[in-house]
Structure 1
Amino acid sequence: MREEIAAHLAYDVPRQPFSTGWIETLWMIAMLPRAIVRLRPDALFCAGNSYTIVALAMKLLLGRRCPPILAKISNDLERRDMVAPIRWLYHRWLRLHGIFIDHFIGMEEPMAGEIEAAIPAAIRRISIIPDPALDEAQVMRLHHAPRPARKARTGGLRFVGVGRLATQKNVALMLRGFARGAAALDSLTIYGEGPERAMLTALCQDLGIADRVTWPGHVPDPASRLPEFDVFLLSSDYEGVPAVVVEALAAGLPIIATRCSVSMTALTGHGALAHLVDTGDLDAFSAAIRDAGRLRQDRAASLAQARRFTVEQASHAYLARFQSIRRHAPACRNNFAPSD
């Protein structure tokens, strides 16, 4: 994804003697302390709770020299998908976050209560900033993009999904729901790549839908393709605030999605802008696909909701949070010895 990152920013990328993707977290823990000592940042941003182990490592390795850390909670904290013993350990791990994270960002209002329940020590250190999924120009391009008439090409509905082909996304549920609920001329396109691709394409064969499911893989800016379709599908077991739903709202697509996050109801206008079903509920998901031809989207309400989740809206709020934790933290630069 290196070609997709924003231009005109200063990137500090350590030289890699070999491919480090398979040890990504350990590589960050090994490389980041030296970069912090050299760059002396005012604050660190942990872009998701998958990386909070790196934040803990920085606190342990650097001590008082570690800048304050602001962490975005990017995924569901309940994790009902986990088996009980693992879930118990995970919740104990979450409670420790209150010790080494200085400030927490939730991506939609219901996440404040979720964070407080999972990390009691975080109370009064939580801000809600709607996830900056798109910029204003992208939202408007999606909203005004020409939309082919329904059933104009094939006589069937064109369903679309976007996401990594990984266990969390439960694409198998989407395929089974499509096989059971879609009409004979309906089609499904799934943008994304991941470790489950071979299993999922084999499942298509088993379900007898291989000729109606298309796998373009990972493509730059898949959101720009959404106006070509009729209905958006999301089948995840857990999410934070899924950016793909914001993209579908901007494009004005009817949405069928699982209740994969505490924020899904608020994100979809208290359910008015999506047909929501329980996670893992194949009967409900397939029934929603069967009735998808009746779905109509309030495009004005969808646009208004999508515009809450823009870079322009979030950037000022993020800057204010960084300035706030900097004011209330020790002067980290003064903690570096002159010899560093």
Structure 2
Amino acid sequence: MASQLNALRYRVMTWRQNGMAPPTRQTAGGVELLQSPRGAARNGLDSGRILIDSVADGVGSARVERVAILLRDLSGGGAERVTVNLANELAARGYHVDLVLFRPTGPLLAIIDPVVNVVDLGVSRYRWSLWPLIRYLRMSNPSALLACMWPMTVLAVLAKAVARIDSRLLVVEHKTWSADLATKPWRRRMVSASMRLVFPHADARIAVSEGAADDLARFSGVLRSSISVLYNPVVDGSVLAPEGDGFPPDSWWSGNHRRILAVGRLVKEKDLPTLLRAFSHMRNTGHPCARLLMLGEGEDRHMLEALVGELGVADAVDMPGFVADTRPYFRRADLFVLSSATEGLPTVVIEAMAAGARIVSTDCPSGPRELLQDGALGRLVPVGDVAGLAQAMVSALRDDPDREALRSRAADFSVSRCVDDYERLLLGRRASS
């Protein structure tokens, strides 16, 4: 029996298009949906087929618990990166993990553990995602479903209700929505109303910091007492491992100048124009030999490149794009700077602490103040304050940081510790120590 079930591995089964029920879920072992019909067609399979996989461990064996994690894609943002960390660690603990994506795109695909199953819903727009998600849930009926970030959080609640499954459903938000939508009143009303109506039907609601949880309660109208705070799994044992020299760009890596680092998507929320103006001001008032490295990619690239030229700092700013492994850059940097206007819990600040780096951050909502313990572990400046940011950068370069205290604080965000908390909330059990 077990051998027959295992023989189903990667077998293509026809999806009934004539109104009949889809392939039934195997009872002696799970059925793994790897491709939706739309995704299968795009990837060269016959239209209307699904790839399924038996995960039977043998007759009479305990069923491996399936955890599904819903995310739009694997673009290079902090929320996506920590979600991959979570998926990889849950899989390492023996769970059958499905990473359910609208489309399997993005640079973070490269760091997914091979034992994590990537489920392609095969959609590019939110309005097309509900029925493929319902089909996936009906076939797999995971023990737990974690939906990450609106509108995936709202869609997951609706899909579970229509699918009529008994999975435990958690929704997690990584933003401070009030600040993020402060200048978009119509969108603010839409997002807030959808959360207010739908979130009470989830089994648990999660925010990634105390500040983000407070904001989510105010923004959505959901009781603050019903929102759990679970920190992001960021730091693993390899973060502090020694690495060699010689990483590009050499103009930043080598030489006697001071190395300033910024890491994040090139988007409006990161307020990188303020950082560039502060850097220009800093070079004119105290550190003419400093160089700035901005790692990341995003829609504001052309605007930022134009601003670099206008400020006359093109010979001192490098923007090489997205880098999958930023650890050597954090260790090499003399100073890490976060200029964001809004955050939830900035992963990059945690990574800088793990490297023992000097840190300057805007005091944006929310996360930096909570992470840096009210400024004890790094300098905090008001959002959008060019002169204040420049002065803090100059002053920070004179500081002798308490690297042990920084690394000790970063340990609060270890993958092992944070996934323990997720495991308890996802599956209602005491995590292994």
Quickly name the TM-score band, shorter chain normalised.
Answer: 0.7 to 0.9
| Equivalent of 1:286 in 390, 400, 417 | 390
CA contact 1:103–1:122 (8 Å) conserved in 2: no
Larger proportion of strand: 2
**CA contact 1:191–1:215 (8 Å) conserved in 2:** yes
Work out whether residues 179 and 365 of structure 2, in 8 Å CA contact, stay in contact via their aligned partners in 1: no
Instruction: Indicate whether 1:6 and 2:113 are aligned.
Output: yes
Point out where structure 1 has 5 or more consecutive residues left out of the alignment: 326-340
Tell me, yes or no, if the aligned pair for 1:269 and 1:305 is still in contact at 8 Å: no
1:266 maps onto 2:373 in alignment = no
Query: Which amino acid letter does the alignment assign opposite residue 45 of structure 1?
Result: L
Moved more, 300-309 or 81-90: 81-90
Asked if structure 2 preserves the Cα contact closer than 8 Å seen for 1:139 and 1:307, the reply is no
- Matched letter for residue 232 of structure 2: D
Partner of 2:71: none
| Structure number, greater radius of gyration | 2
Distance 1:259 1:3, change over 3 A: same
Distance apart, 1:153 and its partner CA: 4.7
Taking the aligned partners of 2:202 and 2:387, their CA distance within structure 1 comes to: 41
- Match runs of 1:1-340 below 5 Å: 1=107, 2-14=109-121, 16=122, 23-49=124-150, 51-59=152-160, 61-62=162-163, 64-65=164-165, 67-79=167-179, 82-83=182-183, 85-86=185-186, 87-135=188-236, 137-141=237-241, 153-182=254-283, 183-324=287-428
Q: Secondary structure at the match of 1:52?
A: helix
Shift of 1:245: 0.5
Deviations 1:107-166 (A, max 9, x none): 23444433333344344432222211122x13432xx66899xx9953331101111111
1:96 to 1:285, Cα distance in 2 relative to 1, 3 A:
farther
The total of aligned residue pairs comes to 313
Q: Is the contact made by 1:43 and 1:322 (CA closer than 8 Å) also made in structure 2?
A: yes
Partner secondary structure for residue 318 of structure 2? strand
Contact 1:145 1:227 in 2 (8 A): no
SS in 2 for 1:172: helix
The CA deviation at 1:261 is 2.5
Q: 1:89 to 1:36 in 2, by over 3 A?
A: closer
Aligned-residue CA RMSD in angstroms?
Answer: 2.7
Shift of 1:293: 2.2
Partners of 1:114 and 1:225 in 2: how far apart?
32
Shift of 1:292: 3.3
For residues 37-92 of structure 1, the C-alpha deviation after alignment (integer angstroms, 9 at most, x for no partner) is: 11111221012345324224425643x33733211221113216622634455444
Give the Cα separation in 1 of the matches to 2:393 and 2:212: 29
Measure how far apart 1:220 and its partner are: 1.4
Match of 1:165, as an amino acid? L
Partners of 1:185 and 1:205 in 2: CA distance: 17
> Structure 2: which amino acid aligns with 1:215?
M
2:315 partner SS: helix
CA contact (8 A) 1:174 1:235 kept: yes
* Distance in 2 between residues matched to 1:27 and 1:250, nearest whole Å: 40
The range that moved more, 242-251 or 91-100, is 91-100
Query: 1:215-257: CA deviations, max 9, x gaps?
Result: 1211211233211111001111111101100000001111111
**Deviation at 1:97?**
4.3
Answer 1 or 2: which has greater helix percent. Answer: 1
**Are the aligned partners of 2:266 and 2:298 in contact in 1 as well (CA < 8 Å)?**
yes
Report the AA paired with residue 189 of structure 1.
Answer: L
Give the corresponding residue for 1:335.
none
Aligned equivalents of 1:152 and 1:124: distance in 2? 47
Amino acid paired to 2:387? D
Distance 1:11 1:60, change over 3 A: same
Is the alpha carbon distance of 1:43 and 1:194 closer, same or farther for their aligned partners in structure 2, counting shifts above 3 Å? same
CA contact (8 A) 1:241 1:261 kept: no
Contact 2:230-2:421 at 8 Å conserved across structures: yes
Mark the runs of 5 or more structure 2 residues left unpaired by the alignment. Answer: 1-106, 247-251
CA contact (8 A) 2:147 2:171 kept: yes
Partners of 1:49 and 1:295 lie apart in 2 by 40
